[in-house]
């Protein structure tokens, strides 16, 4: 049984094709593994182990709770959607079910995908399988922890400013944010519509390519979806000969933890060893990415989250007053502090008289950042950075300082603003700044829009050369009872 779960999905599918493994048996083993969740990764699992398909033909998949699933609780990590069972299924999930993948369960996340530590979930934080006293990253923290912790063979998440790549980095797995428009957003609960993108969280690059090939495609229900020019194939190649890698000239090395910087430099050396060329390239506006992002994303969120009013579905707080008072009572009780913070930021940024100074200006910066990447890709095949400035940090460590929390997205946000694909692969282990056992470090590669195949091929070659094989099995055990859960109304999250 354990051996079966040690396989990557591509390997498991090969075994199934060879008649050595039954898809049903494989799915059953994963359901059993998922049932042993001690990380608070799952918010919902079917009673019969897996759901969606009668007889599985491919590996089961775990789904971030931001994807609507017909008849199955979908909360987006929020109290305001408690008890909500959508009347329809998201296109991405439907495609997985149609491909024969049973749904293992719905995964915990930061409320409405707002967060970088998963501590903003109304249903308690997810624990990092490497060290249960640390965060898994966010917002797709449940997805990353489930894959890294052996609770799912692969998972889907969403990335708005780094929500796939950063938790993948902190949990030592692969996370891919595809080009904006590659995968349908229909049925994916909106945070910031112009940035949100679905993507895979997997054990390796080949699994990411396989999952992407199932998910991608134009969807008539999503006008902004275009799909990829060609369905991705499994990555090939052992070297990086002739490929040029740009390191942003403005890369704020000082802001990077020494251990992370060391792994990053070592990875650059590996790239050179594989025949890749490395040089600095100017990305002068990228450093303003966070500022622009924290205007655009909250602005869109303030509008996207306005529908949660207690009238048609989800939670409703009773109030004695009129409908407006009922809205206010419902939203006051239903949203957590970070969501409220962003709704207020976004509402302000869009207000009459402030629009040009904030939203308008942020959109101009966004255009400049996209222009920086376009210019860089004239000379380079990829732009590379560390995925996150730090390894996994401690639970509660940054919840009192929203700005410190926002800086987690420093390296991932520019690609989101530019709409280009970026992947995080585990590149090694590093000691946290404050000392302690070594933790995974992610390496981010970004490619031009729709350059997924080249990106996957290069990431695969690099992954093979790095040979990251560490598992979180030796992580110290922290009992669940010892973890402070940040529920609604509690102050100090990020």
Partner 1 sequence: MAELEAVIGLEIHVQLATKTKMFCGCELSFGDEPNVHTCPVCLAHPGVLPVANEQAIRYALLIAAALECEVAPRSIFHRKNYFYPDSPKAYQISQYDIPIAGAGRLGDVRIHRAHLEEDAAKMVHVGESGRIHGSGASLVDFNRGGTPLVEIVTEPDLRGPAEAAAWARLLRETVRQLGVSDVNMEEGSLRVDANVSVRPAGSEELGTKTELKNMNSFRFLERGIEAELARQRELVEAGGTVVQETLHFHPEDGTLHPLRSKEEAHDYRYFPEPDLVPIVPTEEMLREAREALPELPAQRSARYQEMGLPEDVAVLLAADPDTAGYFEQAADEAAGVEARVVANWVTGELAAALRQDGGEATASESKVEPAALASLVAMVQEKKISHGSGKTVLSTLVAEGGDPAAIVEREGLAQMSADNGELEAIVVAAVEANPEAAEQVRAGNQKAIGAIVGAVMKETKGRADGGEVNRLIREKLGI
Dig out the tokens for 307 from the structure. 């529908």
**CB crowding 243-274: b at 16 or more within 10 Å, else e:** bbbbbbeebeeeebbebbbebbebbbebbeeb
Q: Exactly one of 117, 139, 143, 424 is catalytic; which is it? A: 139
Q: Determine whether 473 is an active site residue.
A: no
Of the candidate residues 15, 22, 84, 429, the single one contacting partner 1 (CB under 8 A): 84
Stretch that binds partner 1, among 76-84, 123-131, 162-170, 399-407 (CB under 8 A): 76-84
Among 31, 34, 90, 449, binds partner 1 (CB under 8 A): 90
* Terminal alpha carbon distance of the chain: 40
For position 477 contacting partner 1 by CB under 8 A, the verdict is no
> Does the footprint of partner 1 cover residue 359 (CB under 8 A)?
yes
Please tell me whether residue 35 binds partner 1 under the rule CB under 8 A: no
For residue 344, how many other CB atoms are within 10 A of its CB?
A: 12
Question: Would you count residue 68 as binding partner 1 (CB under 8 A)?
Answer: yes
Q: Which two tokens stand for residue 35?
A: 């049932």
Q: Could you tell me the smallest distance in angstroms from the CB atom of residue 320 to partner 1?
A: 14
Closer Cβ to partner 1, 56 or 298, answer by number: 298
Minimum CB distance to partner 1, residue 448 (Å): 21
| Binding flag, residue 83, partner 1 (CB under 8 A) | no
Task: With H, G, I as helix, E, B as strand and everything else as coil, classify residue 34.
Answer: helix
Number of Cβ atoms within 10 Å of the Cβ of 324: 10
Question: Given the rule CB under 8 A, which of 65-73, 197-205, 334-342, 475-483 is the region that contacts partner 1?
Answer: 65-73
Nearest distance from residue 305's CB to partner 1, in Å?
9
Question: What are the helix (H) ranges across 9-51?
Answer: 9-17, 23-35
**Residue number, 122 or 281, with CB nearest to partner 1:** 122
Long-range contacts, 225-232 (Cβ 8 Å, 24+): 225/181, 225/182, 225/183, 225/184, 225/185, 225/186, 226/181, 226/182, 227/181, 227/182, 228/178, 228/179, 228/182, 228/450, 228/452, 229/450, 230/453, 232/452, 232/453, 232/456
Type and span of the H or E element at 382: strand 382-386
Binding letters toward partner 1, positions 274-303, x by CB under 8 A: -------------------------xx-xx
Please list the residues that pair with 278 across neighbouring strands. Answer: 245
Q: Which is nearer to partner 1, 1 or 357 (CB)?
A: 357
User: What is the token pair recorded at 111?
Assistant: 């409320």
Q: Is 398 a catalytic residue?
A: no
> Does residue 194 belong to the site contacting partner 1 (CB under 8 A)?
yes
- Which chain residues interact with partner 1 by CB under 8 A? 66-68, 74, 76, 81, 84, 86-88, 90, 185-190, 192-194, 220-224, 299-300, 302-303, 306-309, 311-313, 323-324, 327, 347, 350-352, 355, 359
Active centre residues (catalytic)? 64, 139, 163
């Amino acid at each position: 049984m354990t051996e079966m779960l040690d396989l990557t999905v591509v390997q498991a599918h090969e075994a199934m094709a060879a008649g050595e493994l039954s898809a049903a048996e494989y799915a059953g083993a994963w359901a059993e593994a998922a049932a042993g969740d001690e990380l608070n990764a799952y918010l919902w699992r079917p009673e019969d182990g897996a759901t969606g398909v009668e007889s599985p033909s491919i590996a089961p998949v775990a789904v971030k709770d931001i994807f609507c699933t017909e008849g199955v609780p979908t909360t987006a990590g929020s109290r305001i959607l408690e008890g909500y069972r959508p009347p329809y299924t998201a296109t991405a999930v439907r495609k997985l079910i149609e491909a024969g993948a049973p749904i293992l369960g719905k995964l915990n996340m930061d409320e409405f995908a707002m967060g970088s530590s998963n501590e903003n979930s109304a249903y308690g934080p997810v624990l990092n399988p490497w060290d249960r006293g640390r965060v898994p990253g966010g917002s797709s923290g449940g997805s990353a922890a489930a894959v890294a912790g052996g609770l799912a063979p692969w998972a889907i998440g969403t990335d708005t400013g780094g929500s796939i790549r950063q938790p993948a980095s902190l949990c030592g797995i692969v996370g891919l944010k595809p080009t904006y428009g590659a995968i349908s957003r229909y049925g994916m609960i909106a945070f910031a519509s112009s940035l949100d993108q679905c993507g895979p969280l997997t054990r390796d690059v080949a699994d990411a390519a396989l999952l992407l090939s199932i998910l991608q495609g134009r969807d008539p229900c999503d006008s902004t979806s275009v799909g990829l020019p060609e369905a991705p194939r499994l990555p090939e190649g052992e070297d990086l000969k002739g490929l040029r890698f740009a390191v942003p000239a403005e890369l704020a090395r000082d802001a990077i933890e020494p251990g992370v910087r060391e792994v990053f430099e070592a990875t650059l050396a590996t790239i050179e060893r594989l025949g890749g060329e490395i040089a600095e390239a100017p990305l002068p506006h990228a450093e303003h990415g966070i500022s622009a992002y924290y205007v655009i994303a909250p602005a869109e969120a303030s509008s996207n989250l306005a529908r949660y009013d207690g009238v048609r579905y989800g939670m409703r707080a009773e109030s004695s007053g009129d409908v407006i008072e009922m809205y206010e009572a419902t939203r006051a009780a239903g949203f957590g502090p970070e969501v409220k913070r962003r709704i207020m930021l976004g509402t302000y940024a869009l207000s009459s008289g402030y629009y040009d100074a904030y939203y308008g200006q942020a959109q101009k910066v966004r255009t400049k950042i996209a222009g920086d990447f376009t210019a860089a890709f004239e000379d380079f095949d990829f732009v590379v950075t560390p995925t996150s400035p730090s390894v996994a940090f401690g639970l509660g460590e940054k919840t009192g300082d929203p700005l410190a929390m926002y800086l987690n997205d420093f390296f991932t946000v520019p690609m989101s603003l530019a709409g280009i694909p970026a992947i995080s692969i585990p590149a090694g282990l590093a000691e946290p700044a404050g000392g302690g056992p070594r933790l995974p470090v992610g390496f981010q590669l970004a490619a031009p829009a729709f350059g997924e195949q080249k990106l996957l091929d290069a990431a695969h070659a690099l992954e093979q050369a790095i040979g990251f094989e560490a598992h979180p099995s030796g992580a110290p055990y922290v009992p669940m009872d010892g973890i402070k859960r940040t529920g609604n109304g509690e102050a100090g999250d990020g």
